[in-house]
Amino acid sequence: MGLKNKDLISIHDLSVGEVATILDVSAKLKRKLKQGESHEYLKGKTLAMLFSKASTRTRVSFETGFHQLGGHPIYLNDATSQIGRGEPVRDTARVLSRMVDGIMIRTFSHESVIELAKYATIPVINGLTDLLHPCQALTDMFTILEHKEVLKGRKLVYVGDGNNMAHSLMFACAKVGMNMVCASPRGYQPNPEIVREAQEDAALTGATISVEEDMQKAAKGADVFYTDVWTSMGEEAEKAKRQQDLHDYQINKELLALGRSDAMVLHCLPAHRGEEITEEVMEGPQAAIFDQAENRLHVQKAIMALLMSDERL
């Protein structure tokens, strides 16, 4: 498969086969790590990790993962690099391309990531923008596959804000043939252009992607319940209004009861217990949230190895 030297900015840009390859290599690398087998596919390489927003999982999984692959990760943020002082993205892209082998970026504007990739001559990986969070959604597909064995034909219900997470999940579900309903109130529904593109992708795999205001209706027969924070990074000024408007869009035991009895619960984390998810569900037997968090490591290692390794995987 031809992922070598490509960027990973949106799951929409990946073929169905490329998504399957990422999931397959993730399983191989997870097994190798657990068995203590060497898998230094990126020995001698360097990754620049640019963060303009906070992170726990993304930073630790990329940094640890790149190190496990034999490479050297460098963490940069706005406060300690020239990015925060306004150095243009196109300059940063060209400078880093002459020094390192890949760039992972977490920032606000999706357009800056596209610009970074345009000027960089090395792979660029999107570690979250206001629009998308592809590495998380690929990890989520991997986690569902581990727990449910088959993805095609399963139903994922996303509850809450139609945000970056909802967008990437729509693209991911479309590519793996999973049906997804995004249950969000009016004013918080996903970007219609993204919904349209995901529906086009879904036509290739026979999946259905839809948006629904009625959360109870959406929850019927769900194999997977998913939620994310009501207020994403950068939206803090709207927090009070969002808490009011999204108040009912919570995963709790009443909602879970509407899904399949073996339905699993996912959350990309960080979680706000008592808001988008209850403590009881978060800590309950159906939650696979910490398996999901761990899998960021394995799936992103697969992504980095596929984009950057000179070896065949």
Which 151-170 residues touch ligand NVA, going by CB under 6 A? 163-165
Residues 85-104: x where in contact with ligand CP by CB under 6 A, - otherwise, as a string: --------------------
**Which positions are annotated as active-site residues?**
106, 133, 136, 228, 268, 296
Q: Does 184 bind ligand NVA (CB under 6 A)?
A: no
In the numeric block, the tokens 């398996």 are attached to: 291
Written as six digits, the tokens of 249 are 């869009």
Task: Check binding of 299 to ligand NVA (CB under 6 A).
Answer: no
Query: How far apart (Å, rounded) are the C-alpha atoms in residues 100 and 8?
Result: 17
228 binds ligand NVA (CB under 6 A): yes
CA-CA-CA-CA torsion for 182, 270, 302, 164, nearest 10 degrees?
A: 40
> What is the residue whose two structure tokens read 């596919």?
41
Q: Phi and psi at residue 50, in whole multiples of 5°?
A: -105, 120
Residue showing tokens 């909802």: 166
Q: Which is nearer to ligand NVA, 24 or 235 (CB)?
A: 235
Asked if residue 269 binds ligand CP (CB under 6 A), the reply is yes
Interface pick for ligand CP out of 21, 26, 52, 136 (rule CB under 6 A) = 136
Q: For the CB of residue 53, give the shortest distance to ligand CP in the complex, in Å.
A: 8
CB closest to ligand CP, residue no: 58
Residue 164 contact, options ligand NVA, ligand CP, none, Cβ 5-8 Å cut-off depending on partner type: ligand NVA
| Cα distance between residue 70 and residue 39, in whole Å | 8
* Nearest to ligand NVA of 68, 231 (CB atom): 231
Crossing angle (nearest 10°) for helices 16-35 and 134-148? 70
Among 52, 55, 126, 232, binds ligand CP (CB under 6 A): 55
Residues 105-134 interacting with ligand CP (rule: CB under 6 A): 128
Query: Out of ligand CP, ligand NVA, none, which partner does residue 56 contact, by CB within 5 to 8 A per kind?
Result: ligand CP
Using CA atoms, how far residue 178 sits from 100, 205, 223, 270, in Å, is 37, 8, 10, 25
In the bound state with ligand CP, the residue whose beta carbon lies nearer, of 41 and 51, is: 51
Report the interface residues with ligand NVA, using CB under 6 A. Answer: 128, 163-165, 228-229, 232-233, 268
